[in-house]
């Protein structure tokens, strides 16, 4: 899968993988890769700035977890993050329905063309 395919969807991907509970950065990367069947391999240089931005926006909160002699930052959803994730999922469903109607037209694609998906 092309690396730029994630562009515009990274926030939703990150929010979705931390939805079940707190995860540290590498666990978030691994969760995205696992959920995508290995198709998405996100880089730390992409993930950490995005996690910091989502935290500044109040969509994530973080704390430090001690693991042996090391400390790792764990991220979890806030209530605002849960609402944003719901919006991301809704927008994704609308997007895939509309694009799907164009790329793979079927008997219901007329509803999308007639403005039902605007």
Provide CB contacts within 8 A for 22, sequence distance 6+. Answer: 63, 65, 74, 75, 76
* pTM, to two decimals: 0.82
Q: Using CA atoms, how far apart are residues 56 and 74, in angstroms rounded to an integer? A: 15
- Tell me, what's the pLDDT at 83? 98
Cβ atoms of 97 and 112 closer than 8 Å = yes
Per-residue pLDDT of the chain (118 residues; tens, 9 = 90+): 556 667 789 999 999 999 999 999 999 999 999 999 999 988 899 899 999 999 999 999 999 998 888 999 999 999 999 999 999 999 999 999 999 999 998 775 555 555 554 4
């Amino acid at each position: 899968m092309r690396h730029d395919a994630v562009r515009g969807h990274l926030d939703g991907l990150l929010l979705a993988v931390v939805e079940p509970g707190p995860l540290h950065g590498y666990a978030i990367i691994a969760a995205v890769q696992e959920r995508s069947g290995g198709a998405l391999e996100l880089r730390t240089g992409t993930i950490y700035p995005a996690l910091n931005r989502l935290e500044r926006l109040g969509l994530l909160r973080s704390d430090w977890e001690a693991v042996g002699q090391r400390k790792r930052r764990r991220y979890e959803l806030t209530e605002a993050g849960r609402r944003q994730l719901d919006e991301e999922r809704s927008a994704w469903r609308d997007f895939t329905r509309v694009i799907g109607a164009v790329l793979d037209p079927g008997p219901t694609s007329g509803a999308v063309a007639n403005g039902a998906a605007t």
